Amino acid sequence: MTNNKKKIVIIGPAYPYRGGNSLYVSSVYTILKDYFDVSVVNFSLLYPSILFPGTTQKDISEKQIYQIPSERIINSINPFTWFKTAKYIKSLKPDIVIFDWWNPFFGPALFSISKLIKRELKNKIIFITENLISHEGKFLDRILTKIGLKNASSFIVLSDVVEKDIVEYSKGRSVYKSALPVYDCYMLNKNPDLLKIKNQLGFDADDTIILFFGYVRKYKGLNILIDAMKDITSFDKKIKLLIVGEFYDSPDKYYSQIKNLNLSDNIKVVQKFVPNEDVGNYYSIADIVVLPYLNATQSGVLNIAYGFRKPVVVTDVGGLSEDVVEGKTGYVVKPGKSEFIAEGIFKFMKNRSETEFEKYIEEKLSENEFNKMPQLVGRIIEDLSNAN
């Protein structure tokens, strides 16, 4: 029987790599595979170990969420593999090739691969821009981004802020809009024992839990949230902050800050990368998830929160506020000052008994543009065919 499905090749990280980019690429594969003939070209080396600030780049979880099939060819610092990758892509004769773009470090590799396939696959090279410039980017990042995106025929953006910023790089090329998926894939335990989990973490049954989740980096504003806890605990001693994640920034200054503010009884730190099977433990006991970021585009942390039907407090930076319905799925506050974060928490505490957050989050999820990714990709293929 002839396979009439259009052929798509996705370039990006997937299992065995961990983190949000791998999760996103795997989600794209999963939602497209029933509609298209999809292949994934993965990395044999993502970051050289000397450049990676975490403990491991591999997913060491006991339970795998997305273990999608892929060809691990690309070594980010070995040009010979770039030629091998291009040859492999061309052998598949795809209708389109989708590159996942999230960090300028990969600019040389992705430029070279896209350049090598451009002659045979003219107007069939799509870049999904999760981020344009890394959150802590420098001048060199802008140069690498300009180089890396040079061979794109079209772009898919995941937020309004990236759609606006990409004008500098798109130069008249088509830009399409999608979104991050809602990550409800971590709900591995449908009936968690909330009291047991709270007790194991040192919380009381009636504590209100604020969750900060994910990698700790300067741009994420954790120090501001910790400062805010001084005012928050003055209002109610039963409000506790749970910090969970691997520190890419020095942890000592945060521990010192907690100690100096006399907040040790109200802040619990779980300093580690969280495997898939444990993510639900922390989200399930959270009353609200806080993202006090100083800059951002969009965030998988927010989309995991929605996956657990948890309301959020986010700062009005990048595309974060685009995904929050004020007073219904959470609250948007100004960035940079602890009093703004505290204000968002106080709004939640005041309205929590009267607001059906879970219902509003469900409504928000039904509108998620990621659900329409197969239709969007089909439209892009049609547009490119008409352009030729």
Does 359 score more than 90 pLDDT? yes
> Mapping DSSP to helix (H, G, I), strand (E, B) and coil, where does residue 88 land?
helix
Q: What is the pLDDT of residues 298-313, one digit of tens each?
A: 889 999 999 999 999 9
Share of the chain above pLDDT 90, in %: 78
Does 137 score more than 70 pLDDT? no
Residue pair 324/312 in contact (Cβ under 8 Å)? The answer is yes
Residue pair 331/313 in contact (Cβ under 8 Å)? The answer is yes
- The pTM for the full model equals 0.93
Does 112 score more than 80 pLDDT? yes
- Separation of CA 210 from chain center: 20
Does 194-366 match 7-181+368-387 at the fold level? yes
Residue type, 4: N
Q: Cα separation of 387 and 380, whole Å?
A: 10
Does 2 score more than 60 pLDDT? no
When pLDDT is averaged across residues 157-185 and rounded to a whole number, the result is 91
When pLDDT is averaged across residues 317-346 and rounded to a whole number, the result is 95
**CATH architecture label of 194-366:** 3-Layer(aba) Sandwich (3.40)
DSSP string of 155-181, one letter each residue: EEESSHHHHHHTHHHHTT-EEEE--PP
Q: Cα separation of 318 and 315, whole Å?
A: 9
| Mean pLDDT across the chain | 93
Q: What is the pLDDT of residue 388?
A: 62
Q: Which contacts (CB < 8 Å, 24+ apart) does range 51-54 have?
A: 51/105, 53/248, 54/215, 54/246, 54/248, 54/273
Q: What is the pLDDT of residues 246-300, one digit of tens each?
A: 998 899 999 999 999 999 999 999 999 999 999 999 999 999 999 999 988 788 9
Q: Where are the domains of the chain?
A: 7-181+368-387, 194-366
When pLDDT is averaged across residues 199-209 and rounded to a whole number, the result is 96
When pLDDT is averaged across residues 72-92 and rounded to a whole number, the result is 97
Q: What is the pLDDT of residue 302?
A: 95
Greatest pairwise CA separation for the chain in angstroms: 70
- Going through 279-337 in order, the beta strands assigned E by DSSP cover 288-291, 312-315, 330-333
Does 171 score more than 90 pLDDT? no
CATH of 7-181+368-387, picked from 3.40.50.2000, 3.30.565.10, 3.40.50.300, 3.30.70.1400, is 3.40.50.2000
Residue pair 351/360 in contact (Cβ under 8 Å)? The answer is no
Does 124 score more than 90 pLDDT? yes
When pLDDT is averaged across residues 18-30 and rounded to a whole number, the result is 94
Residues 6+ apart with CB under 8 A from 129: 101, 102, 149, 155, 156, 157, 158, 162, 166
Q: Looking at 52-56, 122-126, 289-293, which range is the least confident one?
A: 52-56
**Order of strands, edge to edge, in the sheet holding 7-11?**
71-75, 37-45, 7-11, 96-101, 125-129, 154-157, 174-177
Q: What is the pLDDT of residue 105?
A: 92
Angstrom CA distances, 333 to 146, 162, 312, 342, stand at: 32, 20, 11, 9
Q: Cα separation of 136 and 260, whole Å?
A: 28
Model confidence at 385, pLDDT cuts 50, 70, 90, reads: confident
* Sign of the C-alpha dihedral computed for residues 18, 20, 26 and 30 taken in this order: positive
Q: Cα separation of 377 and 94, whole Å?
A: 13
Burial class (CB in 10 A: 0-12, 13-18, 19+), 267: buried
Q: What is the pLDDT of residue 63?
A: 87
Does 154 score more than 70 pLDDT? yes
Q: What is the pLDDT of residue 139?
A: 80
Residue pair 276/26 in contact (Cβ under 8 Å)? The answer is no
Q: What is the pLDDT of residue 244?
A: 97
Residue 83 or residue 60, greater confidence: 83
Model confidence at 386, pLDDT cuts 50, 70, 90, reads: confident
Q: What is the pLDDT of residue 1?
A: 41
